[in-house]
Chain A
Amino acid sequence: MNEIHLWTVVVAATCSLACAWVGVWLVLQRVSMIGDAISHSVLPGLVVSFLMFGTRAPWPMFLGAAVAGLATTYLTRSIASATGAKEDSSMGVVFTVLFALGVLLITRYARQIDLDPGCVLYGLLEFVALDTRPILGVEVPRALETLAPALVLTGVLLALFRKEVLVMAFDPGLARTLGFRPTAVYYGLMALVAVVTVASFEAVGSILVIAMLIGPAVAANLWTRNWRTMFAIASLVAVGSSVAGYALAVATNTSVAGMMAVAVGAACGLAAVFSPAGGVLQRSVRLRAARATIAAEDLLANAYRDLERSGVTSVLGDRGLVARGWSDGVHLTSEGLITARRLVSGHRLVETFLVKDVGRSPDEVHESAHRAEHLLDAVHRAELLRELDSPVEDPHGSPIPKEPSA
């Protein structure tokens, strides 16, 4: 790997990490689209600060963009609360208008401004490794001068205010009662989003910023419920898709930022399918297993009822003996019989409960009991038995089998 490849990936990964860390909070607080809004509306901030200071030096630009970013969130909230418009509507109004203003200013003052809206979208990731300056004798890309501090700032702030932001994300009501000043925390977070966005997008473009704000967090959220693990996975996805995206882009000679955004999307798609905690695959496997179990249990219970009708089990079962019986060619092993007795006993207990305690008619309780019988465990059945004073018969007059001792 030569130095250019290395530095490009380092720049991309630094930016992705910072985005991913803030992004976890955006996704948890369900305000993901603010990333989209901010990354569009920084445009007029850049233009205005360029027109005011007449330079493309990083700090004035940074300031202008950060102000525009914060203005977006502030205006979105104030318009929503002052007019009663929904927050997504007012966000849509605010950032598109600001973006339009930016494009207009760029076109208007095109001769003075060396800014290309296209470049704001895709960034200049292909060239960041060429624009370097020496730091401690090593040629380091200039882009890291803003990205590295942004990453450190994000890490430190999120670590310091971990508790506040965590409570905010999971329980805003609790946050208020604890005196955490949700508004202050919200704007603090939004300021951080603005800083990260602004620091990142000159190098990587706004599209990759949105992808990296949201994608790693979505993938991590699909994989785990624990927020520490979520951070770890989001970091892994961010760095991983930076590397993978870069490799793919070089191999196919296409846009690096675009390919990284695609890689993040693919990571989310993979997580959605293969996640062991609620992925589509795992869900369908579990669903199939549950269906198979229920079908088997229904079969057992029906076989038991057949045996019961032929009179075999009532005799043997009541003596606590485990019976082997035949019914129309169906053979029940001892374990099968035990399971069947549990199911039928649960079924009939639920029917009794629904009729005696809930007051429903005996004709309409079978379906509910039929569904509930698969979900009851020994404790439930014992409780029902106690609650109903150990009934011997269900509302239809069928005997309720005693809980097998084995």
Chain B
Amino acid sequence: MTYNTIIVLAGACLLGALCGAVGSFAVLRRRALMGDVMAHAALPGLPLAFLLAGGKSLPMLLTGAAVSIFLGMGWFAAMRYRTRTHDDAAMALVLASMFGLGIVLLRHVQNVSTGGHAGLESFIFGKTAGMVASDVWITGGVALVCLGVIAVAYKELRLVCFDPGFAASTGLRVGWVDFLITGLLALAVVVGLPMVGVVMVAALTIIPAVAARFWTESLGPMLGIASVFGALACALGVMVSASQERMPSGPLIVLAAAVLFVVSALFAPQRGLVARRLRLERLRHAWREGRLEA
């Protein structure tokens, strides 16, 4: 393996683990598609940061993306909680309008700037192979911060994820915990965007978490499994991509995650389809033999 492959592998695995863990909260809170909305809402921040900073410095661009996501989420919350618009409609609206704004601004940058803007569009589809060592450090740093936040707020997060009604009755501010989850998700999306692009980063926050849910009923193991699945999918995707001509890593990562999802959905011991079918057959059998009369 070349140095470059190792860098890409390390960065992608970190990103996969981060997205898997953080995405678990979103999936459990039934906001699985929020990562998708955020990834789209980040776009306007990139050209704006480019214009303000006068260049393509990655930290500036990521800050721009984060600010843009924050504003998008603010708009979502305003529509959702201050008007009678429902979750799904507010999400779709923010996603499309913010992305439209992003495209308008990108075009504007192309018009006014003399050069150096090339590559801003690569945020839409991502450029995994273009990863450098500093990206790995940034991803690692963000992952550490997220891990710290999760560890500190673990009890509250768990309560809100599995029984928000009870959480509220104990005096916990569910809104703030949701805000925390949103923040964590936004961080993961922001670092993932330049690596794998809009749709693929959304996929990374959803698929490993949904797959992990099949294997366990408790939060701790789910976070662990989702992280492992995310990292595994990224590793597989990057390695296949590196060994083959014209195989982009972003889509391969998502497809690897899809394989993990299918395996989990079929063969997970309790909630998997095979286990369910077996249970059903056993029940039918017992019924036919008359062992169920009670």
Contacts and interface: CB of A to CB of B under 8 A. Distances in A.
Given A107-B248, A221-B84, A265-B101, A100 B93 contact: no
B108 interface: yes
Size range of the chain B interface in the assembly: 35 or more
A112 interface: no
Interface string A276-313: 00111001000000000000000000000000000000
Contacts of A249: 104
B202 A96 contact: yes
A84 interface: yes
Interface stretch (B26-34, B173-181, B182-190, B219-227): B26-34
B50 to A, nearest CB: 15
Interface string A221-259: 110000000000000000000000000010011110111
B78 to A, nearest CB: 7
18 contacts: A82-B273, A83-B271, A83-B273, A89-B206, A96-B36, A96-B199, A100-B250, A104-B248, A207-B96, A213-B92, A215-B93, A218-B85, A222-B83, A257-B103, A264-B97, A265-B93, A268-B97, A278-B83
B32 A86 contact: yes
Interface of A: 27, 30-33, 35-36, 40, 79, 82-86, 88-93, 96-97, 99-101, 103-104, 107-108, 110, 117-118, 121-122, 207-208, 210-211, 213-215, 217-218, 221-222, 249, 252-255, 257-262, 264-266, 268-269, 272, 275, 278-280, 283
Contacts of B2: none
Interface in B91-150: 91-108, 111, 121, 124-125
The winner among B30, B200, B207 for most chain A CB atoms within 10 A is B207
A40 B197 CA distance: 14
Contacts of A82: 265, 273
A96 B79 contact: no
Interface of B: 27, 30-33, 35-36, 75, 78-79, 82-108, 111, 121, 124-125, 199-200, 202-203, 206-207, 209-210, 213-214, 246-248, 250-255, 257-258, 261, 265, 271, 273
A264 B199 CA distance: 22
Given A32-B88, A108-B247, A215-B93, A255 B103 contact: yes
Contacts of B88: 27, 30-33
B247 A107 contact: yes
B78 A93 contact: no
A40 B275 CA distance: 33
Contacts of B265: 79, 82-83, 85
A155 to B, nearest CB: 22
B89 A214 contact: yes
